[in-house]
């Protein structure tokens, strides 16, 4: 294992709190803000972004914080205390770490691994024997060595967080050296525009510009090499000045990641270091590693470019959503994994515990979350009923036998969509507790076939801790066989909508209306596509 040495952090911390902050406020070289896409004076180079010294947190940054994430985190911390020092939590964290180790290199194009092989490595472990020939673009042994470097760095971050040491430039250099341990060269372009291989300086600031060319021929300019050391000192000073000020972890993680990316202090490997720094901030708050899946690469780059223009909001939102997904998985999967560790006496005791919890479901907290659920259910019905009226009117103008209606669950057919709701939850990687509560709404479009968008309300997790979820799926059936299995079935959301008993109704409703709109738009787009 590669140990990430911290060095003289305590002395550095004192200097940073005093000297570096003074430098930040008094001695830093500043330039006037530069406009995007403006040609540099004196030559014909054009830029999609021109470098300027990094800036501290934006004004009113606290408005970017997610109260929902904070509340969901509190629920998880209560839950995690029951799992501390168990194999369950250990296995869950190991899978998250392997996921992070794999994807952080894939989105940078360092290697390619088939999705199916990726899932196998996450579940079973990072071993070259699990990588079939032809499923990667490099020899399996070479890729495994890099992945293990990534794993070692993440393990080092966990240790660093546990030691409660302050962040420093020396630690960042050690982190880069460890991440790139098995990468000796990088591709570069010489003054003639020819590509060549040059040695990678591991753990050392860059000596040459590393500005990428965009598809439109413009240049994205990072910090010039001569300013890197001073800019990194400023970055650390600003970060340390945030300690104790109550900056939400999702904001600090997004800010640190983006400002580090603007500097781009190393010749290569900056993206992986940036995600590692964001991960460090999140782990300090009891959250999870920041993983960007390959499918989110375009969104990730877009958020960073928007932050270049001064708006950090979309990147904070992306990071927040990634943490909500991780928390949802943690609340759902941990209890299921504990079954393997329990003997028959434990299972009997847990059964009695579940029965007791069901009786206690009448407590005020659970009344509160059901009250919120009923309000959201009313919102869903009104929105879907209004949409059904518009669709029905349009369909009947074509054929009087066509129609669109909204149906909601009742005692006689409350289990109609249980299988689909469970399958959707499985796809979204959480547990839907349909035994305790399941209320659904079906937007039923009847023309030559039956097409439906179904919205399902239910508790989240195997143990009810005051968290409810809403999912949505689309299905089609033959008109003459309405009760038969669907011929098409698919989830129409990338993540469930979750809410907690202690949230404010007004804020939940605003979030839900946006989520519901996106789900219904996706369903109707699918319906139109298949007409």
**Structure confidence by residue, pLDDT tens digits, 443-452:** 999 998 899 9
Residue 337 has pLDDT above 50, yes or no: no
Mean pLDDT of the 496-509 span: 88
Cβ atoms 186, 268 nearer than 8 A: yes
Cα(270)–Cα(182) distance, integer angstroms: 16
State pTM to two decimals: 0.81
Cα(343)–Cα(355) distance, integer angstroms: 19
Pairing between strand 219-220 and 47-49? parallel
Question: Of 161, 360, 352, 346, which Cα lies nearest the Cα of 249?
Answer: 161
- What's the Cα-to-Cα distance from 192 to each of 188, 195, 213, rounded to whole Å? 11, 9, 15
Half-sphere exposure of 130 (CA within 13 A, CB side): 17
Parts of the chain belonging to CATH 1.10.3290.10: 9-32+39-333
Cβ atoms 92, 330 nearer than 8 A: yes
Cα(294)–Cα(117) distance, integer angstroms: 14
Cα(402)–Cα(407) distance, integer angstroms: 16
Residue 440's H or E segment, with its range, is: strand 439-446
Q: Indicate the range of 67-71, 111-115, 247-251 predicted with least confidence.
A: 67-71
Cα(296)–Cα(395) distance, integer angstroms: 37
Mean pLDDT of the 159-180 span: 96
Residue 396 has pLDDT above 90, yes or no: yes
Cα(393)–Cα(410) distance, integer angstroms: 26
pLDDT score at 18: 46
Half-sphere exposure of 341 (CA within 13 A, CB side): 14
pLDDT score at 214: 75
> Which residues have a Cβ under 8 Å from the Cβ of 81 and sit 6 or more positions away?
none
Q: Indicate the range of 150-159, 267-276, 324-333 predicted with least confidence.
A: 324-333
Q: Scan for tokens 């054009």, then name that residue.
A: 46
Cα(180)–Cα(82) distance, integer angstroms: 37
Residues across the chain? 531
What tokens were used for 74?
Answer: 């509190």
Cβ atoms 472, 458 nearer than 8 A: no
Q: Scan for tokens 């196998």, then name that residue.
A: 120
Residue 502 has pLDDT above 60, yes or no: yes
pLDDT score at 36: 38
What tokens were used for 145?
Answer: 């060595």
Q: Determine the 3-state secondary structure of 446 from DSSP.
A: strand
How many other C-beta atoms can be found within 10 angstroms of the C-beta atom of residue 41?
Answer: 6
* Percent of the chain scoring above 70 in pLDDT: 83
Question: Of 166, 300, 310, which Cα lies nearest the Cα of 235?
Answer: 166
Q: Indicate the range of 23-37, 232-246, 453-467 predicted with least confidence.
A: 23-37
* 9-32+39-333 carries CATH number 3.40.1280.10: no
pLDDT per residue as tens digits for the range 140-154: 999 999 999 999 999
pLDDT score at 478: 84
Cβ atoms 434, 425 nearer than 8 A: no
Q: Provide the 8-state DSSP code for 467.
A: E
pLDDT score at 330: 87
Question: Of 456, 464, 468, which Cα lies nearest the Cα of 503?
Answer: 468
38 — pLDDT class (breaks 50, 70, 90): very low
480 — pLDDT class (breaks 50, 70, 90): low
Q: Provide the 8-state DSSP code for 454.
A: E
pLDDT score at 513: 96
| Structure-model confidence comparison of residues 181 and 39, the more confident one | 181
First to last CA, the chain: 56
Query: How far out from the chain centre does Cα 229 lie?
Result: 31
Cα(457)–Cα(470) distance, integer angstroms: 5
461 — pLDDT class (breaks 50, 70, 90): confident
Q: Determine the 3-state secondary structure of 421 from DSSP.
A: helix
Q: At what angle do helices 87-106 and 270-284 cross, to 10 degrees?
A: 150
Q: Scan for tokens 């609340």, then name that residue.
A: 331
Q: What angle do CA 32, 239, 236 make, to 5 degrees?
A: 80
Cα(295)–Cα(288) distance, integer angstroms: 19
pLDDT score at 438: 94
The rounded mean pLDDT for the chain is 85
pLDDT per residue as tens digits for the range 275-311: 999 999 999 999 999 999 999 999 999 999 999 999 9
Mean pLDDT of the 258-269 span: 96
Task: Give phi and psi for 187, each to the nearest 5.
Answer: -90, 135
> Which residues have a Cβ under 8 Å from the Cβ of 310 and sit 6 or more positions away?
58
Q: Which residues pair with 406 in a beta bridge?
A: 443
Mean pLDDT of the 39-64 span: 80
pLDDT score at 212: 86
Cα(222)–Cα(263) distance, integer angstroms: 6
Question: Of 523, 360, 336, 332, which Cα lies nearest the Cα of 441?
Answer: 523
Cα(455)–Cα(492) distance, integer angstroms: 10
Dihedral over alpha carbons 402, 408, 414, 419 (to 10 degrees): 60
What tokens were used for 106?
Answer: 């894939």
Mean pLDDT of the 341-360 span: 58
Task: Give phi and psi for 496, each to the nearest 5.
Answer: -70, 160
Cα(205)–Cα(136) distance, integer angstroms: 31
Q: Which residues pair with 453 in a beta bridge?
A: 443, 474
pLDDT score at 191: 59
């Amino acid at each position: 294992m590669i140990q990430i040495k911290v060095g003289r952090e305590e002395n550095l911390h004192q200097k940073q709190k005093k000297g570096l902050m003074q430098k930040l406020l008094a001695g830093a070289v500043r330039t006037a803000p530069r406009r995007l896409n403006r040609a540099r004076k004196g030559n014909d180079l054009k830029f999609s972004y021109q470098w300027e010294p990094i800036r501290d947190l934006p004004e009113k940054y606290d408005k970017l914080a997610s109260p929902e994430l904070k509340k969901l985190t509190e629920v998880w911390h209560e839950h995690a205390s029951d799992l501390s020092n168990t194999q369950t939590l250990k296995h869950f964290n190991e899978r998250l770490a392997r996921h992070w180790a794999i994807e952080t290199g894939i989105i940078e194009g360092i290697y390619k691994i088939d999705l199916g092989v990726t899932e196998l490595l996450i579940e079973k472990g990072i071993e070259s024997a699990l990588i079939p020939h032809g499923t990667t673009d490099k020899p399996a042994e070479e890729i495994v060595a890099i992945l293990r470097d990534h794993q070692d760095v993440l393990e080092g971050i966990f240790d660093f967080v546990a030691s409660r040491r302050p962040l420093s430039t020396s630690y960042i250099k050690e982190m880069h050296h460890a991440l790139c341990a098995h990468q000796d060269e990088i591709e570069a372009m010489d003054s003639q525009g020819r590509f060549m291989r040059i040695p990678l300086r591991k753990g050392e600031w860059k000596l040459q510009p590393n500005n990428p060319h965009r598809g439109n021929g413009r240049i994205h300019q990072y910090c010039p090499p001569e300013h890197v050391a001073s800019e990194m000192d400023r970055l650390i000073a600003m970060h340390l000045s945030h300690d104790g000020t109550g900056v939400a972890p999702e904001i600090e993680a997004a800010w640190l990641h983006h400002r580090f990316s603007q500097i781009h202090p190393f010749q290569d490997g900056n993206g992986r270091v940036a995600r590692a720094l964001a991960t460090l901030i999140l782990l300090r708050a009891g959250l999870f590693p920041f993983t960007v899946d390959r499918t989110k690469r375009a969104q990730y780059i877009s958020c960073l470019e928007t932050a270049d223009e001064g708006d950090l909001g979309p990147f904070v939102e992306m990071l927040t959503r990634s943490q909500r997904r991780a928390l949802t998985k943690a609340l759902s999967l941990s209890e299921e994994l504990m079954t393997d560790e329990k003997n028959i006496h434990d299972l009997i005791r847990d059964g009695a515990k579940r029965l007791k919890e069901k009786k206690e479901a009448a407590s005020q907290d659970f009344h509160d979350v059901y009250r919120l659920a009923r309000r959201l259910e009313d919102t869903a019905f009104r929105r879907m009923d209004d949409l059904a009226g518009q669709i029905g009117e349009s369909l009947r103008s074509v054929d009087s036998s066509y129609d669109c209606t909204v149906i909601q669950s009742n005692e006689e057919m409350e289990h109609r969509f249980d299988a689909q709701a469970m399958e959707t939850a499985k796809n979204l990687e959480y547990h839907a507790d349909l035994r305790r509560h399941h209320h659904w709404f079906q937007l039923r479009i009847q023309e030559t076939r039956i097409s439906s968008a179904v919205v399902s309300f239910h508790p989240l997790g195997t143990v009810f801790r005051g968290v409810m979820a809403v999912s949505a799926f689309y299905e089609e059936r033959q008109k003459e066989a309405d009760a038969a299995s669907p011929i098409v079935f698919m989830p129409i959301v990338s993540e469930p909508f979750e809410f907690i008993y202690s949230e404010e109704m007004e804020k939940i409703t605003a979030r839900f209306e946006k989520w519901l709109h996106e789900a219904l738009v996706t369903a109707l787009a699918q319906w139109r596509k298949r007409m």
